[in-house]
Amino acid sequence: MDWAPAQRILQQMSPVGESDLIPLLQNLQDTYGYLPAEVLTEVSRQTGIPTSRMYGVITFYAQFSMKPRGRHTIRCCRGTACHVRGGQSVADAVGRVLGIADGETTQDGRFTFETVACLGTCFLAPVMMVDNDYFGLLRPEKVNSILDAYP
């Protein structure tokens, strides 16, 4: 594991204490694409922040991942409004198009697919997000053309 990017982050944020843990983890994840265990161990050693504290934060917040993720994240809403309006068929289409299940990443590292409890846009149900882009009033047949726009 290349330690240099983490070292640069620690130098930029110096001094780093427990109150900096969430921004530190966000910076590390933005840099590595996920939070590698080896990097967390070394960051703990360098900062004195216990790895148990890091893992507690990582497992509490859905934004953090300890597994490599795709360049693009697809989130399909499974909330009530989306469910009633066919959201499951949209999620099924995403899985079919990509050949992966909820929580998985494509082998080429292009997409990570996850379903979420709510995207907060019930008036557009059913809804899907790709990165920070919302797509509403979806039908399964629109999924392929949407995903094609993300290299």
Model pLDDT for residues 36-69, shown as the tens digit of each residue = 999 999 999 999 999 999 999 999 987 899 999 9
pLDDT of residue 8 exceeding 90, the answer is yes
Q: Do residues 35 and 64 touch, judged by C-beta distance below 8 A?
A: yes
pLDDT of residue 33 exceeding 90, the answer is no
What does the pLDDT read at residue 14? 93
Cis peptide preceding 36, ω within 30 of 0: no
Residue ranges per structural domain of the chain: 4-60, 72-148
Strand, coil or helix: what is 114?
A: strand
What does the pLDDT read at residue 19? 95
- Taken in order 61, 63, 64, 65, is the CA torsion positive or negative? positive
Q: Do residues 22 and 57 touch, judged by C-beta distance below 8 A?
A: yes
Percent with pLDDT over 70 in the chain? 100
Q: Do residues 1 and 38 touch, judged by C-beta distance below 8 A?
A: yes
CA distance to 13, 117, 128, per residue, from 93 (Å)? 42, 18, 11
Q: Per residue in 99-123, pLDDT tens?
A: 999 999 999 999 999 999 999 999 9
pLDDT, mean over the chain: 96
pTM exceeds 0.85, yes or no: no
What does the pLDDT read at residue 115? 95
The CATH architecture of the domain made up of 72-148 is 3-Layer(aba) Sandwich (3.40)
Taking the CB of residue 83, how many other CB atoms lie within 10 A of it?
Answer: 14
Segment 12-32 mean pLDDT: 95
